[in-house]
Amino acid sequence: MIYEADLQVRKKLLPMYQGMEDTVIQSCLQGHMGTAWVDDLEKPTVSQLIVGIFVFYAGNPNANATEELLYNLPEHSLVIVDTEEWKKKIEMVHQDASNKIQRYRFRKERKDLDRHHLEKFLSTLEDGYELRKMDADIVREPSLHHVSEDFTAQFESLDDFINRGIGYAVLYKGQVVCGAASYSIYDAGIEIEIGTDPTHRRKGLATVAAAALILDCMDQGLYPSWDAANEESVKLAEKLGYVFEEDYDTYYIHLK
């Protein structure tokens, strides 16, 4: 049997996730968003964190409740673990529903992000495009969510994003065509989400929006964490100043 963990129980899980650097883990353990599940509320031995489609497991992969936790998933999930034993368990349980892919991790060092370098990108926006901070009007603009639902999806509501989130949008003829925003938040920063309308790609819009978001985070003393899903995202991160650290296994699991 598994149990949903409140904030007090989540604090007990910190040692389990020691060494896993994904900031989405911190978002959940610190109680900002997502859900956490355990096998025992008093003395948990295995746990699961869910924020959006991202799912993390830690603890004993052979605990009695592990298999139940491994089926406690959204329809589409990106599952991340940090031991070979956990990987083997996932591959065994979800052998017909999982696909191992690579994601790309960057060093989390504030010194890598140079203000002067980032500011130069803000002047590269092509004529006809407008950079705007995501305010209440932008957040309620349907075209923003057409570009990416994940700009705001992890927050409890649009108002919650307005109050706790941060983002920048690029508009063209009054419509949002690109954005960079907080996919998730944690005490010391955010995890960045980038999206561009396919008809407006290859124009440097994501570079401008991301630079504006990173600069805003720097002004607030927040760290803008970047984790890439593909090589295009890797190139953009490195262009902005992030330093590549490693690629790592991620399991895409689709439960029918």
DSSP state of 250: E
The pLDDT tens digits for 155-170 are 999 999 999 999 999 9
pLDDT tens string 20-67: 989 999 999 999 999 999 999 999 999 999 999 999 999 999 999 999
Same-domain status, 138 and 27: no
Is 119 a domain residue?
A: yes
Q: Are residues 75 and 171 in the same domain?
A: no
- Tell me whether residue 236 is in a domain: yes
179, pLDDT greater than 90: yes
The answer to whether residue 149 sits within a structural domain is yes
Domain boundary among 83, 105, 127: 105
Nearest Cα neighbor of 178 from 218, 224, 124, 116 is 124
Q: Average of pLDDT values for 129-140? A: 98
- Tell me how many domains the chain contains: 2
145 and 39 assigned to the same domain: no
Instruction: Indicate if 93 and 131 belong to the same structural domain.
Output: no
For the cut 90, the answer to whether the pLDDT of residue 256 exceeds it is no
Res 32: pLDDT: 98
Residues 122 and 233 in one domain: yes
pLDDT at 247 over 80: yes
48 and 19, same structural domain? yes
Co-location of 49 and 146 in the same domain:
no
Our CA angle for 153, 158, 160, nearest 5°, is 95
93 and 119 together in one domain: no
Query: For all residues of the chain together, what is the average pLDDT?
Result: 97
Looking at the structure, do residues 120 and 172 belong to the same domain, yes or no? yes
How do residues 206-244 score in pLDDT, each as one tens digit? 999 999 999 999 999 999 999 999 999 999 999 999 999
DSSP alpha helices (H): ranges in 165-240? 205-220, 231-240
**Residue for token digits 């990108």?**
121
User: Whole domain around residue 200: which residue ranges?
Assistant: 114-240
**Does residue 171 sit in the same domain as residue 212?**
yes
9: CATH: 3.40.630.110
**100 and 118 both lie in a single domain:** no
Q: How far apart are CA 28 and CA 185, in angstroms?
A: 9
182 and 209 assigned to the same domain? yes
Q: If you write DSSP's letter for every residue of 50-107 in order, what string do you get? A: EETTEEEEEE-TTSTTHHHHHT---SEEEEE-SSHHHHHHHHHHTTTTEEEEEEEEE-
Distance separating alpha carbons of residues 38 and 55, to the nearest angstrom: 13
Residue 194: per-residue pLDDT: 98
b/e per residue 107-129 (b: at least 16 CB within 10 A): ebeeeebeeeebeebeeebeeeb
Alpha-carbon gap, residue 134 to 136, rounded angstroms: 7
Residue 122 covered by a domain: yes
Contact at 8 Å (CB) between 67 and 93? Answer: yes
Instruction: Using DSSP, state whether 217 is helix, strand or coil.
Output: helix
pLDDT of residue 66: 98
Alpha helices in 78-201 (DSSP H): 84-93, 115-121, 136-139, 142-147, 158-164
At 150, the pLDDT band (50, 70, 90 cuts) reads very high
